[in-house]
Amino acid sequence: GAGVSQTPSNKVTEKGKYVELRCDPISGHTALYWYRQSLGQGPEFLIYFQGTGAADDSGLPNDRFFAVRPEGSVSTLKIQRTERGDSAVYLCASSLTSGGAYEQYFGPGTRLTVT
Amino acid sequence: KNQVEQSPQSLIILEGKNCTLQCNYTVSPFSNLRWYKQDTGRGPVSLTIMTFSENTKSNGRYTATLDADTKQSSLHITASQLSDSASYICVVSANGGGADGLTFGKGTHLIIQP
């Protein structure tokens, strides 16, 4: 079956611009997670959804970052007034439901470069 | 503060050889420990998940061990293949907390040479 997909695979934008990153989770998975991964580092938690609601957004670095999941499936991560420090790979993962024992399936990521 | 430390940071071995990667953690309360393989330019893929009561779990040529008393885990790779070249990330889950309380290590970058 189809795995987690993310679009675009690569995004280059100028400092100060607005970007949207999309995640399509595995069908039927109610939990969806966003992570950010810098070169040589492990993924860093940003936010996760259980259904349509953000269950925990404590990892969002500041108010320029926002994510939505209006229908409980596709999610969009939105970054306003991008800065060069936002450059990273943004990973999305989904699991059947939330709870530590459930396996998370990761997408291939979106590589964001802010020039 | 929950932390996961991995060693070595990077490792180069010859094809066919075995290797062992280490993971030490200070995560409480412990729920489970996972090892992921991440190929360059790809998302992480789960290799094993171990709960408190499990001290070893295998997935093909990959064998993970867990010592919950010393808070250490290892991932042993047998008869390495070129396709094993990747980053291996140790992830520990605590009960509660953000993203189901997952704390990620920085990974061990493994290179298999022919």
Compute chain A's Rg from CA coordinates. Answer: 13
Chain B: closest CA distance from residue A95 (Å): 11
- Does A96 reach chain B within 8 Å, measured CB to CB? no
The answer to whether residues B87 and B110 touch, using CB atoms and an 8 Å cutoff, is: yes
The CA distance from A22 to A43, in Å, is 17
pLDDT per position as a tens digit, B3-12: 999 999 999 9
Give the model's confidence band at A100: pLDDT under 50 very low, under 70 low, under 90 confident, else very high. low
pLDDT per position as a tens digit, A25-56: 999 999 999 999 998 889 999 999 999 988 88
Task: Say what the pLDDT of residue B11 is.
Answer: 97
Task: Say what the pLDDT of residue B99 is.
Answer: 56
Contact B42 A109 (CB under 8 A): yes
- Does B100 reach chain A within 8 Å, measured CB to CB? yes
pLDDT per position as a tens digit, A1-25: 589 999 999 999 999 999 999 999 9
Contact A41 B106 (CB under 8 A): yes
Residue labelled with tokens 């580092």? A41
| Region B56-67 average pLDDT | 96
Task: Say what the pLDDT of residue B23 is.
Answer: 98
Q: Who wins on pLDDT, B100 or A52?
A: A52
The whole-chain average pLDDT of chain B stands at 92
Chain B residues lying within 8 Å of A104, measured CB to CB: 46, 102
The nearest alpha carbon in chain B to A94 belongs to B99
The CA distance from A47 to A66, in Å, is 9
- Does B102 reach chain A within 8 Å, measured CB to CB? yes
- Residue from B46, B100, B104 to probe the interface with A (highest A Cβ count within 10 Å): B100
The CA distance from A8 to A21, in Å, is 7
Residue B47 has pLDDT above 50, yes or no: yes
Task: Say what the pLDDT of residue B96 is.
Answer: 55
Residue B98 has pLDDT above 60, yes or no: no
Task: Say what the pLDDT of residue B15 is.
Answer: 98
- Does B42 reach chain A within 8 Å, measured CB to CB? yes
Residue B71 has pLDDT above 60, yes or no: yes
Residue labelled with tokens 């605590």? B94
The CA distance from A62 to A3, in Å, is 30
Chain A residues lying within 8 Å of B34, measured CB to CB: 103
Terminal-residue alpha carbon distance, chain A? 37
**Short-list B107, B55, B114, B71, CA closest to B86:** B107
Give the model's confidence band at B27: pLDDT under 50 very low, under 70 low, under 90 confident, else very high. confident
What SS3 class is residue B49?
strand
Partner residue facing B107 (CB), from A4, A35, A42: A42
Q: What is the total residue count of chain A?
A: 115
Q: For chain A, where are the alpha helices, taking DSSP H only?
A: none
The nearest alpha carbon in chain A to B99 belongs to A48
Give the model's confidence band at B97: pLDDT under 50 very low, under 70 low, under 90 confident, else very high. very low
Residue labelled with tokens 């022919």? B114
Residue labelled with tokens 């040589």? A40
Chain A: closest CA distance from residue B104 (Å): 6
